[in-house]
């Protein structure tokens, strides 16, 4: 039996206003080479100046992932030539990264599991090179944008587990507001490494996999690679330590030219930047930047609100949804009702319109109002659903919609009694049948009353009146 | 203070300006200190600021390794021969803000690597005292321009003696400030942890004024610092001097003895000090400097700016050609050395070891300054040397950096001054002080200047100098 060891190297682009060592705008998708200056273009004589926001967000991530924070984060130069890297060295961290020895807790196959974080370090991103025919084009807009690298220990065993970790991690950074976690656009990138060995024999020869543009590809590539290595070992063929690329068209990993993996980065401390020493005030600000993380929130939702796991999972997936939910609860809505409305009715409308909850006409106040009208019996369930649709369609408060459309529930006994009399008179056959002891036509009569009132009659009262008048 | 620059207020008056430009034209034909000279552009930069100040109308020059917007920034290299800077160094900005007129960029050893300025790919600069001799380096153009009376001061950069040594060769004052006292923003990096912008000046007072304007923390240079205190420095009483055989040329040795005698006669206590780490200065310096240079010079690839070969098959070949055709031999040598000492597996033997020794050198100076207020030593074992036969080869020049590199390794301020003129050539000495002790240096050298004012080369004596 073989055992597999999977580790991930995750890069996330931090959502700072400006680049990590200069004042250029940090923004994706602009005209090439417009967000550049002498510093991020590596002009002669310029110096980097560390962006306080970038280091702040970095420490927030390190805290959230339970890392030991370095009392002195040292920047170093990582030397290699590549046309999209203006200085031909990358300012990164090596000997003293800002965070070490953290962890992420997962629930994988019904068991709790802790994936250790080896280290977290801050570095600058490179630009982009595009080959077009016999030309190579360079765009330096991305050069110098802040990039945080998170390196896990090889604590995972299967592609599914790595995929889960990535999803979990992505949710966490989105909660923290440090990165949008978009793997397609490259704001979150992941390289994976995997080795297999006979059980109990420790790590095998490590293979790195690059070009993984989604968490699905991470899973597929790792599972492919585990199978490939297993077959090799079964046949008595040695696994070569190498870097392989995921080919997403053929669903296989392919060996990269070996030349490219033989780098000697010649790290040495960056003389232009003093080590960053987080003071008490800085650390207090980092603590302020922490929020309740998704896993903790999920547990609390289940414990405090009595939600089932499916509902809790749905609600905590996006921080905005979870915040919205708790905002609705503040006005006294029942937790299970509110959860169910968000999980089914609201989600259905959002999905139909392909929109997000945040920024939609449905505010927490409006949903709260709707649920309270329902709880007070001023509308009943079917009307409530119509009101919800109308909130999205007309961008108005539920109370106003009910008033304008005359949808408020009829619950005056005198008014309803007259209506019941009218319906009984008009349907003598059914009325007589009920009086003779056949309860079946009651539903029909009820339907007639609802039809008369456009569904607004309070059903329990109608039922009571019907029974009295046919008893 | 006004009188310091009085005679140098040349560019506020059109008659004076004409005379000045004529003088530069005829003088620089012999000296070749400037790589670029343009009074109009300098006045334009000053006019953008407008206010004026104590340097109004005063010309100054800048070593062509420091950025000034609109001027070329060649670094004495073919690889940047046509590069025009889009921005201005902080130190230069501060001088322009005081009204100073940046009239031109001066020649240097390519990227600051050398002791003669002959390593410039863009021309040779001659010593104003004897045009057969080198002007020193790497800030040779700046020292020569000041010595020849073309400017009252010129900025240089000092990585291992590059301000003080040419100042000594040309007979002017040369200040290497405390590391971090002057912003390096705009100084093209050769060895970032060692270098600082300094000044070659016609008088101690000028050097002091220029330093006071340039100094101070800059948010664009996070290695820059404000000096701890503005409290007046206590006057130096004890001067530390070096004993034993220093391997000096006779003229320099005589000048050293004479300088010691002068200060003794002025009531200073002379105390011999032992700098036990002295043998390590040069090897440690060349290990650290080349290591940093190998990274600092990696950006010159011909892709975004600078020299570009006519044809290349792919980006890698473009980079290879640009570098092999654009860099001179001394630069290539230092890049190779630096790459070598940083290789993984060899770092501990070279780079890390050099860093540990550097710590020991600092500690050695900390100890020395408990026994002396300032340390007096020669700048260079020789006076300005001849080109070719009878001069110094590249390796001898490196060994001769043994008195200058100490201040850079320890981050200390040092001020070189013309101590004597012997055989028709100046000989320079330098004082070193604890970090941020520049005032102490100015005070003690001022005393010497009062008795022995700055000498002038016989053929270069304009009316304002």
pLDDT at B63 over 50: yes
The verdict on a CB contact (< 8 Å) between B299 and A86 is yes
**Element spanning B126, H or E:** strand B126-127
In the prediction, which pLDDT does B233 show?
64
Give the alpha-carbon dihedral of A11, A16, A20, A26, to 10 degrees. 90
**Predicted confidence band at A256 (pLDDT cuts at 50, 70, 90)?**
confident
Residue A266 is nearest to which of B85, B87, B344, comparing CB atoms?
Answer: B344
pLDDT for A263 equals 80
**Which of A47, A51, A273 is most worth mutating to test chain B (most B CB atoms within 10 A of its CB)?**
A47
* Cβ neighbours, 10 Å, residue B72: 17
pLDDT bin (cut points 50, 70, 90) of residue A340 is very high
Q: Tokens 């000028």 identify what position?
A: B206
Check CB contact under 8 Å for B87 and A38.
Answer: yes
257-286 of B, contacting A, C-beta below 8 A:
none
Q: Which of the residue ranges A33-47, B22-36, B353-367, B381-395 would you say has the lowest mean pLDDT?
A: B381-395
Is the pLDDT at B230 greater than 70, yes or no?
Answer: no
> Which of B83, B298, B319 is facing A87, going by the closest CB pair?
B298
The mean pLDDT of A191-196, rounded to a whole number, is 96
A276 has a chain B CB within 8 A of its CB: no
Nearest CA-CA distance, residue B347 and chain A, Å: 8
Which chain B residues are closer than 8 Å to A86 by Cβ? 299, 304
Question: Number of A:B CB contacts under 8 A?
Answer: 104
User: What does the pLDDT read at residue B232?
Assistant: 65
**A266 inside 8 A of chain B by CB:** yes
Give me the mean pLDDT over the A61-84 stretch: 96
User: B115 an active-site residue?
Assistant: no
Q: Annotated catalytic residue: which of B85, B162, B294, B465?
A: B162
Q: How many domains does chain B have?
A: 1
Mean of pLDDT values over B292-315 = 95
- Average pLDDT of the residues of chain A: 92
Whether residues A45 and B319 touch (CB distance < 8 A) is answered with no
Inform me whether the pLDDT recorded for A404 exceeds 80. Answer: yes
Nearest CB among A38, A41, A44 relative to B80 is that of A44
Q: How far apart are CA A13 and CA A145, in angstroms?
A: 7
CA distance to partner chain A, nearest, from residue B326 (Å): 15
Quote the tokens at residue A93. 């961290």
Mean pLDDT within B198-215 = 97
Whether ipTM > 0.85 holds is yes
- Name the residue facing A88 among B188, B222, B298 (closest C-beta): B298
Inter-chain touch A266–B294, beta carbons under 8 Å: yes
Question: A-chain residues within 8 Å CB-CB of B343?
Answer: 264, 266
- Per-residue pLDDT, A448: 87
B138 is catalytic: yes
Whether A272 contacts chain B with CB within 8 A: yes
Residue A22: list chain B partners with CB under 8 A: none
Spans of all domains in chain A: 2-285, 292-405, 413-470
Chain A CB within 8 Å of residue B371 CB: no
pLDDT (tens digit, 9 = 90+) per residue, A220-230?
999 999 999 99
pLDDT score recorded for residue A446: 87
- Over residues B119-146, the mean pLDDT reads 97
Strands B196-201 and B153-158: antiparallel
8 A C-beta contact, residue B170 and residue B128:
yes
CATH pick for A413-470 out of 4.10.490.10, 1.10.10.410, 1.10.10.10, 3.60.110.10: 1.10.10.410
B201–A contact, CB cutoff 8 A? no
The answer to whether residue B389 is domain-embedded is yes
Say yes or no to pLDDT of A378 above 90. Answer: no
For residue A80, the distance in angstroms to the closest alpha carbon of chain B comes to: 9
Q: pTM to 2 decimals? A: 0.90
Q: What is the pLDDT of residue A261?
A: 52
CA atoms of A305 and A312, how far apart (whole Å): 9
Residue numbers of the domain that contains B178: 2-233+375-451
Inter-chain CB proximity B222 and A49 less than 8 Å: yes
Q: Is B219 on the interface with A (CB under 8 A)?
A: yes
Facing residue for B192 by CB, picked from A41, A42, A272: A272
pLDDT score for B2: 47
Query: A110 and chain B: CB distance < 8 Å anywhere?
Result: no
CATH number at residue B72: 3.90.1300.10
Q: Which has more confidence, B333 or A422?
A: B333
Neighbour order of strands in the sheet with B425-432: B34-37, B101-106, B59-63, B153-158, B196-201, B173-176, B414-422, B425-432, B374-378, B238-242, B269-273
Task: Looking at the complex, report in whole angstroms how far the Cα of residue A84 sits from the nearest Cα belonging to chain B.
Answer: 10
Cα gap A224→A226, rounded to integer Å: 6
| pLDDT band at residue B242 under the 50/70/90 scheme | very high
* Out of A44, A86, A271, closest to residue B75 by CB: A44
Rounded Cα gap, residues B414 and B163, in angstroms: 10
Burial B81-98 (b: 16+ CB within 10 A, else e): bebebebbbbbbbbbbbb
Beta carbons of A89 and B343 less than 8 Å apart: no
CA dist B34 and B107 (Å) reads: 6
Task: Please give the Cα distance from B299 to A45 (Å, whole number).
Answer: 11
B63 assigned to active site: yes
Would B163 be classed as within a structural domain? yes
Residue B419 pLDDT: 98
CB contact under 8 A, B295 and A79: yes
Residue B88 reports pLDDT greater than 60: yes
Assign A262 a pLDDT band (cuts: 50, 70, 90).
low
- CA atoms within 13 Å, Cβ hemisphere of B166: 46
Is A268 in Cβ contact with B343 (below 8 Å)?
no
* Cα torsion through B308, B309, B315, B319, rounded to 10: -70
Residue B300 in this model has a pLDDT that exceeds 80: yes
Please report which confidence band the pLDDT of residue B1 belongs to, taking 50, 70 and 90 as the band edges. very low
Quick check: B86 and A38 CB within 8 A? yes
Q: Is A21 on the interface with B (CB under 8 A)?
A: no
Distance (Å) from the alpha carbon of A86 to chain B's nearest alpha carbon: 6
């Amino acid at each position: 039996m073989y055992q597999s060891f999977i580790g991930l190297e995750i890069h996330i682009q931090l959502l700072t206003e400006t680049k990590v060592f200069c004042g250029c705008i940090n923004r994706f998708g602009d005209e090439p080479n417009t967000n550049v200056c002498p510093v991020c273009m590596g002009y002669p004589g310029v110096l980097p100046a560390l962006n306080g926001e970038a280091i702040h967000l970095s420490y927030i991530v390190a805290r959230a992932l339970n890392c030991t924070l370095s009392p002195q984060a040292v920047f170093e130069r990582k030397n290699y030539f590549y046309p999209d890297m203006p200085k031909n060295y990358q300012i990164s961290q090596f000997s003293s990264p800002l965070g070490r020895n953290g962890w992420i807790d997962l629930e994988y196959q019904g068991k709790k599991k802790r994936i250790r974080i080896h280290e977290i370090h801050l570095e600058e991103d490179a630009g982009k090179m595009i080959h077009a025919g016999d030309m190579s084009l360079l765009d330096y807009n991305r050069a110098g944008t802040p990039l945080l690298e998170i390196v896990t220990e090889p604590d995972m065993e299967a592609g599914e587990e790595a995929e889960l970790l990535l999803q979990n991690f992505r949710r966490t950074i989105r909660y923290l507001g440090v990165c949008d976690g978009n793997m397609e656009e490259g704001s979150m990138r992941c390289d994976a490494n995997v080795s297999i060995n006979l059980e109990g024999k420790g790590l095998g020869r490590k293979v790195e996999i690059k070009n993984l543009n989604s968490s699905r590809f991470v899973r597929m590539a790792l599972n492919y690679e585990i199978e490939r290595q297993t077959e090799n070992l079964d046949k008595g063929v040695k696994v070569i330590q190498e870097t392989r690329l995921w080919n997403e068209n053929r669903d296989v990993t392919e060996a990269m030219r070996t030349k490219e993996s033989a780098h000697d980065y010649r790290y040495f401390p960056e003389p232009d930047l003093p080590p960053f020493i987080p003071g008490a005030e800085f650390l207090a600000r980092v603590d302020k930047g922490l929020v309740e993380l998704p896993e903790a929130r999920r547990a609390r939702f289940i414990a405090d609100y009595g939600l089932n796991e499916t509902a809790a999972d749905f609600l905590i997936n996006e921080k905005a949804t979870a915040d919205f939910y708790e905002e609705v609860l503040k006005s006294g809505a029942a937790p299970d009702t509110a959860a169910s409305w968000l999980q089914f009715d609201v989600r259905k409308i959002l999905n139909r319109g392909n929109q997000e909850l945040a920024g939609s006409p449905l505010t927490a106040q409006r949903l709260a109002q709707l649920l309270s009208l329902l709880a007070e019996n001023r509308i009943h369930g079917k009307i409530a659903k119509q009101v919800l649709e109308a909130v999205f369609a007309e961008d108005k408060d539920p109370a106003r919609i009910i008033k304008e459309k005359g949808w408020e529930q009829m619950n005056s006994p005198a008014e309803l009694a007259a209506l019941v009399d009218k319906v009984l008179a008009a349907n003598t056959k059914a009325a007589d049948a009920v009086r003779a002891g056949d309860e079946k036509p009651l539903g029909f009569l009820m339907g007639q009353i609802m039809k008369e009132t456009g569904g607004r009659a309070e059903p329990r009262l109608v039922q009571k009146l019907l029974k009295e008048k046919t008893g | 203070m006004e009188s310091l620059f009085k005679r140098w207020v040349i560019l506020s008056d059109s008659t004076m300006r004409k005379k000045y430009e004529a003088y530069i034209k005829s003088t620089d034909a012999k000296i070749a200190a400037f790589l670029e000279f343009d009074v109009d552009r300098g006045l334009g930069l000053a006019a953008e600021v407008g206010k004026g100040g104590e340097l109004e109308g005063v010309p100054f020059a800048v070593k062509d390794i420091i950025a000034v917007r609109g001027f070329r920034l060649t670094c004495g290299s073919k690889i940047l021969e046509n590069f025009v800077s889009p921005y201005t160094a902080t130190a230069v900005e501060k001088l322009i803000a005081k009204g100073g007129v940046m009239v031109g960029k001066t020649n240097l050893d390519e990227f600051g690597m050398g002791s003669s300025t002959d390593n410039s790919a863009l021309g040779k600069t001659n010593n104003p005292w004897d045009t057969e001799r080198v002007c020193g380096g790497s800030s040779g153009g700046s020292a020569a321009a000041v010595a020849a009376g073309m400017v009252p001061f010129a900025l240089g950069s000092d990585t291992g003696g590059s301000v003080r040594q040419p100042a000594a060769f040309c007979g002017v004052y040369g200040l290497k400030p405390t590391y971090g006292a002057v912003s390096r923003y705009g100084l093209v990096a050769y060895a970032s942890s060692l270098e600082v912008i300094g000044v070659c000046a016609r008088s101690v007072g000028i050097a002091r004024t220029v330093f006071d304007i340039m100094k101070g923390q800059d948010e664009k240079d996070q290695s820059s610092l404000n000096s701890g205190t503005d409290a007046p420095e206590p006057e130096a009483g004890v001067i530390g001097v070096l004993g034993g055989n220093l391997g000096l040329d006779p003229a320099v040795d005589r000048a050293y003895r004479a300088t010691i005698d002068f200060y003794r006669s002025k009531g200073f206590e002379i105390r011999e000090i032992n700098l036990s780490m002295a043998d390590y200065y040069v090897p440690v310096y060349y290990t650290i400097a080349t290591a940093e240079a190998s990274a600092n010079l990696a950006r010159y690839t011909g892709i975004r700016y600078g020299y570009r070969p006519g044809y290349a098959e792919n980006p890698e070949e473009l980079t290879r050609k640009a570098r092999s055709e654009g860099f001179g031999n001394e630069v290539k040598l230092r890049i190779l050395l630096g790459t070598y000492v940083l290789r993984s597996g060899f770092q501990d033997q070279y780079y890390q070891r050099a860093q540990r020794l550097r710590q020991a050198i600092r500690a050695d100076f900390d100890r020395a300054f408990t026994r002396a207020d300032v340390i007096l030593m020669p700048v260079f074992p020789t006076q300005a040397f001849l080109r070719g036969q009878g001069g110094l080869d590249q390796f001898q020049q490196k060994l001769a950096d043994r008195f200058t590199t100490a201040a850079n390794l320890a981050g200390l301020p040092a001020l070189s001054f013309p101590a004597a003129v012997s055989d028709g050539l100046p000989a320079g000495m330098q004082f070193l002080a604890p970090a941020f002790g520049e005032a102490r240096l100015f005070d003690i050298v001022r005393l010497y200047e009062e008795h022995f004012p700055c000498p002038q080369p016989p053929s270069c004596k304009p009316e304002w100098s």
